[in-house]
């Protein structure tokens, strides 16, 4: 079994085999939870949860997850700890490393997470940055595999803003053999370095990767359709402009007719109905958004066990 990196900052840190191992563990933990079988694999351990951004799914899933694993979670808002008053990341990292067994952080700048991981001896989990959202995409892959029984050879269309979710989907799909087509306006493409990185990974794993500005072209015959909010946290001043630019990328009934006959719809939530997705799609039989949200719990428990318990 390969040596795991200390931290989980990006899916690119994990090999395809490790990603599949994490998904297998997430499935097992989900089945055990539903069967009422305890799995207190992190008994007595403590997870510090640093939040610079508001959160529903990330906070609740990590806090419940560490409790189900026998540990405890400490909510650390940057408005409450000294990091928010100017203490350096290295000082915070080294201090928390003396108290805790792991850290999850949800913040803005990805470099802050990299620096935190550099300066603390304990595992750091990226709960979200402006660049990447690896925990979300691990749960997405779990949801897709549950639906289709496989990942290799499936086709996914991401339609909307080339944001942190799109960046992580590019890596996650490339690592697991999923063909991914990303449709965004020209000025809102995914990170170019990540795109090229993912293109190289995809070539090694037998999957195809495409960017287009044409949402209809991306949707043709796909198995999975994914979108996200057009206005992420910190972009509120751009709201009016974004509404105009992204309107042709709304996932609605007309666009859905181009997808494959058994296609499913995913959204990382929160969703803004009649903006990036129509009500009839997100509430329709094709939607798996709440299965996907639930899988944040199971996928993140797998990450914690693999890093903090060295499974």
Residues 6+ apart with CB under 8 A from 9: 110, 113, 114, 117, 124, 126, 132, 134
* Residue 98 a catalytic site member: no
Single out the catalytic residue among 133, 181, 242, 267. 133
Q: Is 181 a catalytic residue?
A: no
Which residue out of 7, 268, 288, 298 is catalytically annotated? 268
Please report the beta strands in the chain, taking only residues with DSSP state E, as ranges in sequence order: 46-51, 72-77, 102-106, 124-128, 155-159, 179-183, 209-212, 224-227, 264-267
Full strand arrangement of the beta sheet holding 46-51: 72-77, 46-51, 102-106, 124-128
Name the active-site residue from 59, 106, 110, 288. 106
Of 68, 130, 135, 136, the active-site residue reads 136
3-state SS of 153-202 is CCEEEEECCCCHHHHHHHHHHHHHCCEEEEECCHHHCCCHHHHHHHHHHH
Residue given tokens 């306006």 in the structure block: 185
Annotated active-site residue in 173, 191, 228, 250: 228
Q: Is 228 a catalytic residue?
A: yes
Strand partners, 76: 50
**Is 34 among the catalytic positions?**
no
d(CA 154, CA 129): 27
Q: Known catalytic residue: 152?
A: no
Pick the catalytic residue from 130, 296, 298, 300: 296
- Contact between 167 and 140 under an 8 Å Cβ cutoff? The reply is no
Active site residue 268: yes
Tell me whether the omega of the peptide bond preceding residue 270 falls within 30 degrees of 0, making it cis.
yes
Give the residue numbers annotated as catalytic, written as ranges. Answer: 106, 133, 136, 228, 268, 296
């Amino acid at each position: 079994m390969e040596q795991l990196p200390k931290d989980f900052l990006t899916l690119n840190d994990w090999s395809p085999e490790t990603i599949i191992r994490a998904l297998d563990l997430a499935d097992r933990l989900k089945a055990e939870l539903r069967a009422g079988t305890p799995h207190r694999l992190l008994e007595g351990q403590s997870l510090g949860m640093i939040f610079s951004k508001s959160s529903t799914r990330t906070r609740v899933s990590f806090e419940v997850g560490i409790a189900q694993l026998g540990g405890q979670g400490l909510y650390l808002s940057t408005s409450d700890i000294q990091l928010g008053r100017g203490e350096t990341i290295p000082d915070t990292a080294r201090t928390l490393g003396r108290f805790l067994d792991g850290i999850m952080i949800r913040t803005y700048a990805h470099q802050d997470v990299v620096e935190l991981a550099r300066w603390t001896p304990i595992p750091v989990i990226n709960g979200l940055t402006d660049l990447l959202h690896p925990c979300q995409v691990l749960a997405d892959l779990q949801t897709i595999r549950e639906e289709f029984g496989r990942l290799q050879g499936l086709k996914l269309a991401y339609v909307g803003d080339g944001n942190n979710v799109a960046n992580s989907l590019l890596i996650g799909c490339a690592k697991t053999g999923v063909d991914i087509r990303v449709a965004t306006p020209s000025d809102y493409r995914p990170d170019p370095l990540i795109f090229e990185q993912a293109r190289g990974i995809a070539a090694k794993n037998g999957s195809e990767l495409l960017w287009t500005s044409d949402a209809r072209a991306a949707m043709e015959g796909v198995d999975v359709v994914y979108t996200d909010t057009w206005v992420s946290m910190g972009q509120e001043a751009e709201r009016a402009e974004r509404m105009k630019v992204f309107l042709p990328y709304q996932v609605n009934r007309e666009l859905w007719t181009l997808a494959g006959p058994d296609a499913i719809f995913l959204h990382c939530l929160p969703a803004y109905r009649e903006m990036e997705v129509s009500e009839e799609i997100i509430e329709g039989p094709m939607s798996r958004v709440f299965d996907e949200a639930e899988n944040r719990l199971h996928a993140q428990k797998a990450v914690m066990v693999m890093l903090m318990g060295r499974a």
